[in-house]
């Protein structure tokens, strides 16, 4: 894609590419998921759930050394993006990773990391 403008060919290409990037729902969703899971705390939560299958709010708070409301807010965000779900056992709520396609890619990355 050339910068020099007078060439008609490049003007047509610019117009084509502009149209291509006018509506990008797939990129927007990908951006959303990368942003929500890319946060340092939330990525650690996902990594922890990947390795230990499930955990409750106060244990995650203990491990990551954040307050329980902070963890609860992060979990809420991950849940609203369908990356995690939860089950209740008496008073305790356990969170776990869902089968979301994004999680499959992410856990492949986690597997390849070996150590955190």
Q: Which does 77 bind (CB under 5 to 8 A by kind): DNA, a copy of itself, none?
A: DNA
Query: Strand 54-56 relative to strand 84-89: parallel, antiparallel, unpaired?
Result: unpaired
Question: Based on C-alpha coordinates, what's the Rg of the chain?
Answer: 20
We find the least distance from the C-beta atom of residue 25 to DNA, in angstroms, to be 17
75/97 with CB nearer DNA: 75
69/104 with CB nearer DNA: 69
76/104 with CB nearer a copy of itself: 104
111 is a contact residue toward a copy of itself (CB under 8 A): no
Check if the beta carbon of residue 59 is closer than 8 Å to that of residue 44: no
- Two tokens, residue 19: 């149209």
């Amino acid at each position: 894609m050339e910068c020099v403008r007078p060439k008609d060919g490049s003007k047509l290409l610019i117009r084509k590419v502009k149209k291509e990037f006018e509506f990008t729902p797939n990129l927007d969703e990908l951006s959303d998921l990368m942003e929500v899971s890319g946060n340092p705390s939330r990525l650690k939560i996902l990594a922890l759930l990947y390795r230990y299958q499930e955990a409750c709010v106060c244990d995650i708070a203990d491990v990551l050394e954040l307050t329980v409301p902070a963890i609860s807010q992060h979990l809420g965000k991950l849940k609203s993006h369908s990356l995690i779900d939860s089950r209740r056992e008496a008073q305790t709520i356990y969170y776990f990773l869902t089968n979301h396609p994004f999680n499959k890619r992410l856990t492949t990355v986690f597997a390849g990391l070996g150590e955190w």
